[in-house]
Amino acid sequence: MKIMAIIKKNKLIVFVAAAYGILLLASPDQALQSWRNSIYYLIEMLQVLPVIFLLTVVIEVLVPKEMITQGFGEKSGLKGNLLSLLLGSISAGPVYAAFPISKILLNKGASITNIVIILSSWAVIKIPMLANEVKFLGVKFMGIRWIMTVISIFVMGYLMALFVKTKDLPKPEMGSRENVLEIKQEYCIGCGICAKLLPEYYEIRDKKAVVKKMPQGKLQEAAIVETADKCPTKAIVLSMDE
Protein backbone atom coordinates (compact mmCIF):
# COMPACT_ATOMS: atom_id res chain seq x y z
CA MET A 1 0.00 0.00 0.00
CA LYS A 2 2.72 2.39 0.99
CA ILE A 3 4.66 1.81 -2.23
CA MET A 4 1.52 2.48 -4.26
CA ALA A 5 1.01 5.74 -2.42
CA ILE A 6 4.57 6.84 -3.15
CA ILE A 7 4.17 5.95 -6.83
CA LYS A 8 0.90 7.82 -7.00
CA LYS A 9 2.42 10.89 -5.42
CA ASN A 10 5.39 10.90 -7.80
CA LYS A 11 3.64 9.78 -10.98
CA LEU A 12 5.77 11.89 -13.28
CA ILE A 13 9.08 10.81 -11.79
CA VAL A 14 8.10 7.14 -11.92
CA PHE A 15 6.88 7.52 -15.49
CA VAL A 16 10.07 9.17 -16.73
CA ALA A 17 12.30 6.70 -14.88
CA ALA A 18 10.34 3.83 -16.43
CA ALA A 19 10.63 5.35 -19.90
CA TYR A 20 14.40 5.61 -19.50
CA GLY A 21 14.59 2.07 -18.18
CA ILE A 22 12.71 0.67 -21.15
CA LEU A 23 14.68 2.76 -23.62
CA LEU A 24 17.94 1.66 -22.02
CA LEU A 25 16.99 -1.93 -22.75
CA ALA A 26 15.54 -1.33 -26.20
CA SER A 27 17.99 1.23 -27.55
CA PRO A 28 20.85 2.19 -25.23
CA ASP A 29 22.15 4.76 -27.73
CA GLN A 30 18.93 6.74 -27.64
CA ALA A 31 18.78 6.55 -23.87
CA LEU A 32 22.29 7.96 -23.70
CA GLN A 33 21.38 10.64 -26.22
CA SER A 34 18.33 11.65 -24.14
CA TRP A 35 20.50 11.81 -21.05
CA ARG A 36 22.96 14.08 -22.84
CA ASN A 37 20.14 16.31 -24.10
CA SER A 38 18.95 16.75 -20.54
CA ILE A 39 22.28 17.96 -19.20
CA TYR A 40 21.88 21.44 -20.71
CA TYR A 41 18.55 21.88 -18.92
CA LEU A 42 19.92 20.48 -15.68
CA ILE A 43 22.67 23.08 -15.68
CA GLU A 44 20.12 25.78 -16.46
CA MET A 45 18.03 24.59 -13.51
CA LEU A 46 20.98 24.65 -11.13
CA GLN A 47 21.79 28.19 -12.24
CA VAL A 48 18.31 29.51 -11.74
CA LEU A 49 16.53 27.65 -8.94
CA PRO A 50 18.75 28.89 -6.07
CA VAL A 51 18.03 32.45 -7.20
CA ILE A 52 14.31 31.75 -7.25
CA PHE A 53 14.58 30.30 -3.77
CA LEU A 54 16.30 33.45 -2.48
CA LEU A 55 13.76 35.66 -4.23
CA THR A 56 10.75 33.90 -2.72
CA VAL A 57 12.34 34.40 0.71
CA VAL A 58 13.06 38.06 -0.05
CA ILE A 59 9.52 38.73 -1.28
CA GLU A 60 8.13 37.07 1.82
CA VAL A 61 10.26 39.08 4.23
CA LEU A 62 10.78 42.46 2.62
CA VAL A 63 7.62 43.07 0.59
CA PRO A 64 4.52 43.79 2.65
CA LYS A 65 1.28 42.23 1.52
CA GLU A 66 -0.35 45.61 0.90
CA MET A 67 2.37 46.47 -1.59
CA ILE A 68 1.70 43.32 -3.65
CA THR A 69 -2.05 43.88 -3.49
CA GLN A 70 -1.57 47.45 -4.61
CA GLY A 71 0.95 46.63 -7.32
CA PHE A 72 -0.49 43.38 -8.68
CA GLY A 73 -3.96 43.02 -7.12
CA GLU A 74 -7.44 43.21 -8.63
CA LYS A 75 -7.50 46.99 -8.43
CA SER A 76 -4.01 47.60 -9.76
CA GLY A 77 -5.38 48.22 -13.27
CA LEU A 78 -3.20 48.93 -16.26
CA LYS A 79 -0.30 49.94 -14.07
CA GLY A 80 -0.37 46.50 -12.47
CA ASN A 81 -0.47 44.85 -15.90
CA LEU A 82 2.55 46.81 -17.07
CA LEU A 83 4.39 46.05 -13.86
CA SER A 84 3.67 42.35 -14.37
CA LEU A 85 4.89 42.52 -17.96
CA LEU A 86 8.08 44.19 -16.78
CA LEU A 87 8.64 41.66 -14.02
CA GLY A 88 8.15 38.74 -16.41
CA SER A 89 10.36 40.27 -19.09
CA ILE A 90 13.38 41.13 -16.96
CA SER A 91 13.43 37.78 -15.23
CA ALA A 92 15.82 34.99 -16.06
CA GLY A 93 15.24 31.30 -16.37
CA PRO A 94 12.71 28.85 -17.77
CA VAL A 95 8.99 29.12 -17.13
CA TYR A 96 8.93 26.66 -14.26
CA ALA A 97 11.11 29.11 -12.36
CA ALA A 98 8.18 31.53 -12.59
CA PHE A 99 5.86 29.12 -10.76
CA PRO A 100 7.17 29.63 -7.20
CA ILE A 101 7.38 33.40 -7.65
CA SER A 102 3.86 33.58 -9.11
CA LYS A 103 2.54 31.42 -6.32
CA ILE A 104 3.94 33.61 -3.62
CA LEU A 105 2.58 36.72 -5.36
CA LEU A 106 -0.80 35.04 -5.70
CA ASN A 107 -0.83 34.22 -2.00
CA LYS A 108 0.02 37.81 -1.22
CA GLY A 109 -2.89 39.17 -3.22
CA ALA A 110 -1.91 39.40 -6.90
CA SER A 111 -4.77 39.01 -9.40
CA ILE A 112 -5.15 36.12 -11.85
CA THR A 113 -4.80 38.48 -14.80
CA ASN A 114 -1.45 39.70 -13.58
CA ILE A 115 -0.24 36.19 -12.76
CA VAL A 116 -1.05 35.11 -16.32
CA ILE A 117 0.82 38.15 -17.64
CA ILE A 118 3.84 37.36 -15.47
CA LEU A 119 3.88 33.68 -16.44
CA SER A 120 3.43 34.33 -20.17
CA SER A 121 5.93 37.14 -20.45
CA TRP A 122 8.36 35.16 -18.31
CA ALA A 123 8.06 32.35 -20.84
CA VAL A 124 8.09 34.32 -24.08
CA ILE A 125 9.77 37.67 -23.62
CA LYS A 126 13.39 37.42 -22.65
CA ILE A 127 15.85 40.15 -23.49
CA PRO A 128 18.65 37.75 -24.48
CA MET A 129 16.11 35.87 -26.58
CA LEU A 130 14.93 39.03 -28.32
CA ALA A 131 18.55 39.85 -29.18
CA ASN A 132 18.94 36.38 -30.61
CA GLU A 133 15.79 36.81 -32.66
CA VAL A 134 17.06 40.08 -34.12
CA LYS A 135 20.29 38.40 -35.08
CA PHE A 136 18.63 35.61 -37.07
CA LEU A 137 15.30 37.06 -38.16
CA GLY A 138 15.78 40.81 -38.21
CA VAL A 139 14.57 43.77 -36.18
CA LYS A 140 11.27 44.09 -38.02
CA PHE A 141 10.34 40.46 -37.47
CA MET A 142 11.24 40.62 -33.80
CA GLY A 143 9.52 43.97 -33.24
CA ILE A 144 6.23 42.98 -34.81
CA ARG A 145 6.20 39.60 -33.09
CA TRP A 146 6.95 41.32 -29.78
CA ILE A 147 4.09 43.81 -30.15
CA MET A 148 1.63 41.10 -31.10
CA THR A 149 2.80 38.86 -28.30
CA VAL A 150 2.40 41.61 -25.72
CA ILE A 151 -1.12 42.39 -26.94
CA SER A 152 -2.01 38.68 -26.86
CA ILE A 153 -0.63 38.29 -23.37
CA PHE A 154 -2.75 41.19 -22.09
CA VAL A 155 -5.92 39.93 -23.78
CA MET A 156 -5.20 36.45 -22.47
CA GLY A 157 -4.74 37.75 -18.94
CA TYR A 158 -8.19 39.33 -18.98
CA LEU A 159 -9.83 36.33 -20.68
CA MET A 160 -8.27 33.98 -18.14
CA ALA A 161 -9.69 36.02 -15.28
CA LEU A 162 -13.17 35.53 -16.78
CA PHE A 163 -12.80 31.76 -16.91
CA VAL A 164 -10.65 30.98 -13.92
CA LYS A 165 -11.54 32.30 -10.49
CA THR A 166 -9.47 32.27 -7.34
CA LYS A 167 -11.56 29.41 -6.01
CA ASP A 168 -10.38 27.20 -8.90
CA LEU A 169 -6.81 27.49 -7.73
CA PRO A 170 -5.47 25.02 -5.23
CA LYS A 171 -5.72 26.43 -1.74
CA PRO A 172 -2.34 27.52 -0.51
CA GLU A 173 -1.04 24.62 1.52
CA MET A 174 -0.32 27.14 4.19
CA GLY A 175 -3.94 27.98 4.82
CA SER A 176 -5.10 24.41 4.96
CA ARG A 177 -2.77 23.62 7.77
CA GLU A 178 -3.93 23.77 11.34
CA ASN A 179 -1.88 26.10 13.41
CA VAL A 180 -2.30 26.19 17.13
CA LEU A 181 -1.01 29.20 18.97
CA GLU A 182 -0.94 29.22 22.72
CA ILE A 183 0.63 31.07 25.59
CA LYS A 184 1.71 29.13 28.59
CA GLN A 185 0.18 31.16 31.37
CA GLU A 186 2.54 29.82 34.02
CA TYR A 187 5.53 31.24 32.14
CA CYS A 188 4.08 34.54 30.95
CA ILE A 189 5.35 37.54 32.87
CA GLY A 190 3.05 39.98 31.14
CA CYS A 191 5.84 42.02 29.58
CA GLY A 192 3.60 42.94 26.64
CA ILE A 193 6.23 42.56 23.92
CA CYS A 194 4.04 40.18 21.94
CA ALA A 195 0.98 42.45 22.14
CA LYS A 196 3.11 45.35 20.99
CA LEU A 197 4.52 43.39 18.04
CA LEU A 198 1.29 41.79 16.92
CA PRO A 199 -1.71 43.46 18.52
CA GLU A 200 -3.93 41.50 16.14
CA TYR A 201 -3.05 38.22 17.81
CA TYR A 202 -2.17 38.99 21.39
CA GLU A 203 -3.52 41.15 24.14
CA ILE A 204 -2.76 41.62 27.79
CA ARG A 205 -5.55 40.66 30.16
CA ASP A 206 -4.98 40.68 33.93
CA LYS A 207 -1.24 41.12 33.45
CA LYS A 208 -0.96 38.01 31.30
CA ALA A 209 -0.84 37.78 27.55
CA VAL A 210 -3.63 35.88 25.85
CA VAL A 211 -4.16 34.78 22.26
CA LYS A 212 -6.90 36.72 20.52
CA LYS A 213 -7.16 34.64 17.38
CA MET A 214 -5.54 31.69 15.69
CA PRO A 215 -3.18 32.46 12.84
CA GLN A 216 -4.76 31.66 9.49
CA GLY A 217 -2.31 30.65 6.83
CA LYS A 218 1.39 30.61 6.54
CA LEU A 219 1.78 34.28 5.81
CA GLN A 220 1.40 35.25 9.42
CA GLU A 221 3.43 32.34 10.60
CA ALA A 222 6.75 34.07 10.20
CA ALA A 223 5.55 37.01 12.27
CA ILE A 224 4.22 34.68 14.97
CA VAL A 225 7.49 32.76 15.07
CA GLU A 226 9.21 36.06 15.56
CA THR A 227 7.09 36.96 18.59
CA ALA A 228 7.72 33.48 19.99
CA ASP A 229 11.45 34.11 19.68
CA LYS A 230 11.20 37.56 21.24
CA CYS A 231 9.23 36.35 24.24
CA PRO A 232 11.67 36.54 27.16
CA THR A 233 10.28 33.49 28.93
CA LYS A 234 9.50 31.51 25.77
CA ALA A 235 5.89 31.23 26.82
CA ILE A 236 4.53 31.46 23.27
CA VAL A 237 4.16 28.12 21.55
CA LEU A 238 3.15 27.75 17.93
CA SER A 239 2.53 24.19 16.94
CA MET A 240 2.11 23.46 13.27
CA ASP A 241 0.48 20.44 11.75
CA GLU A 242 2.63 19.35 8.86
In the region spanning residues 62 to 91, those forming contacts with another protein, defined by CB under 8 A, are: 62, 90-91
Nearer Cβ to another protein, position 97 or 188? 97
Q: Report 1-60 residues binding another protein (CB under 8 A).
A: 10-13, 15-17, 19-20, 23, 30, 33-42, 45, 47-49, 51-58, 60
Minimum distance, C-beta of residue 87 to another protein, in the bound complex (Å)? 12
Q: Taking a C-beta distance cutoff of 8 angstroms, is the pair 233, 187 a contact? A: yes
Q: Taking a C-beta distance cutoff of 8 angstroms, is the pair 44, 93 a contact? A: yes
Q: Taking a C-beta distance cutoff of 8 angstroms, is the pair 83, 71 a contact? A: yes
Minimum distance, C-beta of residue 206 to another protein, in the bound complex (Å)? 29
Total residues at interface with another protein (CB under 8 A): 88
Nearer Cβ to another protein, position 75 or 170? 170
Minimum distance, C-beta of residue 151 to another protein, in the bound complex (Å)? 9
For every residue of 79-114, DSSP letters joined together read HHHHHHHHHHHH--S-GGGHHHHHHHHHHTT--HHH
Q: Is residue 226 close enough to count as binding another protein by CB under 8 A?
A: yes
Provide the Cα torsion 99, 101, 102, 105; round to 10°.
160
Nearer Cβ to another protein, position 198 or 208? 198
Nearer Cβ to another protein, position 48 or 191? 48
Minimum distance, C-beta of residue 198 to another protein, in the bound complex (Å)? 12
Say how many CA atoms lie within 13 Å of 2 toward its Cβ.
0
Minimum distance, C-beta of residue 166 to another protein, in the bound complex (Å)? 10
Query: What are φ and ψ of residue 181, in 5° steps?
Result: -115, 125
Type and span of the H or E element at 240: strand 236-240
Nearer Cβ to another protein, position 94 or 190? 94
Burial (CB < 10 A; 0-12, 13-18, 19+), residue 123, is: middle
String of contacts with another protein for each residue 122-161, x by CB under 8 A: -xx-xxxx--xx-xxx--xx--xx--xx--x--xx--xx-
Q: Taking a C-beta distance cutoff of 8 angstroms, is the pair 133, 141 a contact? A: yes
Q: Report 96-115 residues binding another protein (CB under 8 A).
A: 96, 99-100, 102-104, 112
Q: Taking a C-beta distance cutoff of 8 angstroms, is the pair 118, 153 a contact? A: no
